[in-house]
Structure 1
């Protein structure tokens, strides 16, 4: 009888253990984590997605509805599927010729609730393989992770509803948090703060002051420090009275935080490069001009709510309201967020409330403070929160915009030089192990508050980049054998400043899901997966690994161009498949392939020659993680 009872107990514990055991354990319900789960499901793998809040979707579900991508088509795959679903939602609900479809900008602009809905739909289609658990908090402490022989065996998660600890075991673990909490608990080395220019010779590195759109100016030392770029909330504002809610004065309101803006409004002083042409006499003349009931006439100056937030139109009379780059005071709150990446969730929650109070106070100040021009206040009062967004959170975003947390040191360390053209008009360096192409400026928000005499806030900058390739190694730790980090990736402050955009994170999540599946199938460490297999699967899912202006994922020759492009056959921005091949190009391709090619210069098309090479040459079998 005792033996039978013992077997029943053992069976019970095995069953309980199996419930919490998955192929892949993903911490963070960000878009990067979501795409990891979806991509893994497509490879037949089970995963659990552990999200701290009661909503999945990260920032696109919390106000970041104006998609940050400089070249549409550079990043595709599951990201393109997300964008296309957004567009189809607006078409089906409002009609193809509707204003909503026009304002969704082909699916790249969307309301927060729509972003969340689409991501939920994509997950629901994989529900047989993906378990989504909300209100699950991972605290980055050693007792919450069990490791053996450089492998994570299990993690411990706080169920915020039951206040009980749960354990999750898996074959592969994925850190998809904005902060990098799981990787830090696994002792993966990470960086905080800004590298100096002397370390990697990057533009914008270290301490930098510059007019927005201008060059570096007085006070720039380019030296390293511990400063973290500022956070804010991406607000959903509207000027439609039918859905507009008044912004109330917060209980913790400190007028002194905003008073320096009064003089800025009256004079028109701002942080844009146009100020180089503005004299003190012009500022004083503008004060008199405004006193007569006019708006500012200083070049580059903006009026009303635009003084404190930069808005991009979304469907249904809503906006994605971000920090105003041209202002000394806006919705960013520099300096106070520096501890966030390595702090406890208790500290983070306190800061999140502080940031909310600050932003609501800023808007209330702009709309109501009697020292501001009356017509300025009136213009600002035209705007308020959208009453049908974040209805369970007082119509305010639920999640802080964490632009930068921990940055891990992985198999490849991405810097600004990886995103900068090697010569004018040329590409950046091509990574043969690329898992996505991407494109956004080298873009960082301020790290310090307003300082007397400075032309702008320290670290608020943007530099141009070119469409680049992202090597697999940016999400692969050097030591931990079964961990991938597709969101808090490996890079410098400036390098990370372009990788940190949600389209890129979605693409890296997709690659992480496929890579994790390959590691499981081939029973290898994540850094030893077959890179060619990874790329072939991604290409089959219409992911773009290297961008060409004249070949997209719908083209029949897409996979060929992608693979040969990464191997150096097509270094320019166009593949020009229908052009006739010239002698110089043919000789270069013969050298690359090591084979004598059959062609007639000036007559045989480049496509015909490339197909011959693609068919008859073995792929480059170098391990993807070695680049």
Structure 2
């Protein structure tokens, strides 16, 4: 079966929904493809629409006028996204993902989809269980997925991992000094403990293929009416949590520090990764495999995040090495199934903080983040600090005493929530492949940025803003029958300004 539209938007993330509504508003026919069965991505899975937006005045368009009004309860946000898309004449294809792409010259002519039904807890279908199904034909494509799969299947160049300090002259790039060093023996019988990575030994500033940790933004409750029991995974062994046991022993009876392991950091009603804790509610090191992995790999890693959390909860609830008061506190918790009723309390989206990144016409770097550049083709503002969660957990000797310990590496929060205190522009060229690479694709989520710059830009309101501008550009390319690289950019900037986008901060007082 073949379906056809003017614009194909891949990914029902918040950005994908904004792009689809924008293209529809601009008069194009639209197909929106979502590999799962839920719209709204991370905003339907724990993050609040305004949560990563410390300067609301820097946000305009549909993000401000629609998405920001969807509420704070993920269940309500999910419903709002579905109702919003249902209000328009947009064809939505659920439970399908891109399998391959056809090209003619520098243009995508069609994409082939495969089935991708998630399991009852939201885990994506493995590649081996998927079968080819639909074909989608469109004039212009937008990749609004967190993984950049359409971009990759179309053969467009992209980056993964961490650049070196020298690649883009970024002082904070590459391998970083360790954090959270703790005097814990990382070995048992001469073998590295589970939950630790073997140190690759690269120096500070070197390039590697790691990226920051993923996790779930989840809710827990002790209310029997809402509580879904957290059961141990199949094959659970306390030995797999020996590092946790040693860390618990190190912390002693400090209940607040123990809560940093589980549930973690209470962010805005939901629990997040506690970056100040050596061990917390998500595994480290596995995101590197997810970035460019197939769906067998990704499905396994997604489930590993679930099973790790299940095993961690069981260990902390039952193991005699854990202080009794904390055992009882942890055992009382279950997932709050009233928040995520479709998946028995598990969030329907793993927080994929970064995966592939377009290698496009313009690459955002730390110089952009700190306002050392002034691009003339800004299509929206970004406004957060460089926010990188831990990348690895490794065995590490104390450089002074030589004592073995365990540490995390990669954690950074440069500039805090306000970054430099002044929003920075994201140019149209940063969502645009080179013309020879693809003339009818725009990438507003997996945009062209270094690992450092992406860590500041990767916020849902920013993705939504860029997606609205991308959709306007896509419709302009459609009508002008030209490549996205050859559109009239001043005309684009005029139109997005008419739609209420904020693309510069010159008339605003610094925050």
Instruction: Name the residue aligned to 1:123.
Output: 85
1:177 aligns with 2:138: no
Give the Å deviation of 1:239: 4.6
Instruction: Name the residue aligned to 1:503.
Output: 461
The equivalent position to 1:135 in structure 2, one of 79, 95, 100, is 95
Q: Distance in 2 between matches of 1:440 and 1:410?
A: 22
The structure number with the bigger radius of gyration is 1
Q: Distance in 2 between matches of 1:494 and 1:246?
A: 39
SS of the aligned residue for 1:63 comes to coil
Alignment of 1:325-340 (within 5 A): 325-340=275-290
Aligned residues: 464
- In proportion to residue count, which structure has more helix? 1
- In proportion to residue count, which structure has more strand? 2
Q: Distance in 1 between matches of 2:160 and 2:496?
A: 31
Compared with structure 1, are the counterparts of its residues 394 and 245 closer, same or farther at alpha carbon in structure 2 (3 Å cutoff)?
A: closer
Deviation per CA, 1:299-338: give whole Å up to 9, x if none. Answer: xx6343665511123xxxxx32111111111123222232
Q: Distance in 2 between matches of 1:507 and 1:80?
A: 9
Q: Distance in 2 between matches of 1:82 and 1:309?
A: 31
1:534 aligns with 2:492: yes
Give the Å deviation of 1:456: 3.9
Give the Å deviation of 1:53: 0.9
Instruction: Name the residue aligned to 2:215.
Output: 232
Give the Å deviation of 1:342: 2.0
Q: Is 1:209–1:455's contact at 8 Å kept on the other side of the alignment?
A: no
Instruction: Name the residue aligned to 1:595.
Output: none
Q: Distance in 2 between matches of 1:223 and 1:51?
A: 36
The equivalent position to 1:401 in structure 2, one of 323, 335, 351, is 351
1:573 aligns with 2:510: yes
SS of the aligned residue for 1:491 comes to coil
Alignment of 1:282-297 (within 5 A): 287=252, 290=253, 295=254
Instruction: Name the residue aligned to 2:10.
Output: 27
Give the Å deviation of 1:508: 1.1
CA RMSD of aligned residues (A): 2.4
Q: Distance in 1 between matches of 2:224 and 2:499?
A: 44
SS of the aligned residue for 1:73 comes to helix
The equivalent position to 2:164 in structure 1, one of 175, 179, 196, is 196
Q: Distance in 2 between matches of 1:366 and 1:78?
A: 44
Deviation per CA, 1:406-457: give whole Å up to 9, x if none. Answer: 11111110111111144xxxxxx33221111121111112222242346741
Instruction: Name the residue aligned to 1:158.
Output: 114
Q: Is 2:228–2:344's contact at 8 Å kept on the other side of the alignment?
A: no
Compared with structure 1, are the counterparts of its residues 65 and 368 closer, same or farther at alpha carbon in structure 2 (3 Å cutoff)?
A: farther
The equivalent position to 2:364 in structure 1, one of 414, 417, 423, is 414
The equivalent position to 1:79 in structure 2, one of 32, 51, 63, is 63
Q: Distance in 1 between matches of 2:172 and 2:236?
A: 35
Compared with structure 1, are the counterparts of its residues 418 and 338 closer, same or farther at alpha carbon in structure 2 (3 Å cutoff)?
A: same
The equivalent position to 2:413 in structure 1, one of 441, 462, 471, is 462
1:487 aligns with 2:437: no
Instruction: Name the residue aligned to 2:382.
Output: 438
Unaligned segments of structure 2, at least 5 residues: 118-129, 181-200, 398-404
Deviation per CA, 1:519-562: give whole Å up to 9, x if none. Answer: 11122210121222222222222221123xxxxxxxxxxxxxxx
Give the Å deviation of 1:257: 3.5
Q: Distance in 2 between matches of 1:349 and 1:135?
A: 14
1:69 aligns with 2:53: yes
Give the Å deviation of 1:40: 0.5
SS of the aligned residue for 1:452 comes to strand
Q: Distance in 2 between matches of 1:51 and 1:335?
A: 27
Q: Distance in 2 between matches of 1:535 and 1:437?
A: 13
Q: Distance in 1 between matches of 2:53 and 2:509?
A: 21
Compared with structure 1, are the counterparts of its residues 82 and 332 closer, same or farther at alpha carbon in structure 2 (3 Å cutoff)?
A: farther
1:205 aligns with 2:173: yes
